[in-house]
């Protein structure tokens, strides 16, 4: 579990896929999230995860709660 800028996310590693993470946005208005796969299959640090979450949140349309087009 990570809280970034007041938003709650569950972060899971994908079984059998080193370097792949699923981020579930638990406090968002919809059942929504994103995934990341690192080409070098390396582990993400907490600051890298927080940065990925901030990048995701920056793309969200506040009117819809979904990625802006």
What beta strand segments (E) does 14-63 contain? 20-25, 32-37
Q: How high is the pLDDT of residue 13?
A: 95
The sheet carrying 20-25 orders its strands as 2-4, 7-13, 20-25, 32-37
pLDDT at 69 over 80: no
User: Radius of gyration over alpha carbons of the chain, in Å?
Assistant: 12
Residue-range domain boundaries for the chain: 2-58
Q: How high is the pLDDT of residue 21?
A: 97
User: pTM for this one?
Assistant: 0.92
Mean pLDDT (the chain, rounded): 95
Cα–Cα dist 25/38, whole Å: 20
Tell me the pLDDT tens digit for each residue of 29-61.
999 999 999 999 999 999 999 999 999 999 999
């Amino acid at each position: 579990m990570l809280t970034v800028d007041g938003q709650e996310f569950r972060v899971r590693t994908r079984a059998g896929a080193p370097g792949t993470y699923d981020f579930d946005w638990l406090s968002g208005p919809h059942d929504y999230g994103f995934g990341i796969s690192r080409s070098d299959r390396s582990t993400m640090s907490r600051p890298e995860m927080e940065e990925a979450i901030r990048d995701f949140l920056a793309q969200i349309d506040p009117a819809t709660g979904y990625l802006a087009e």
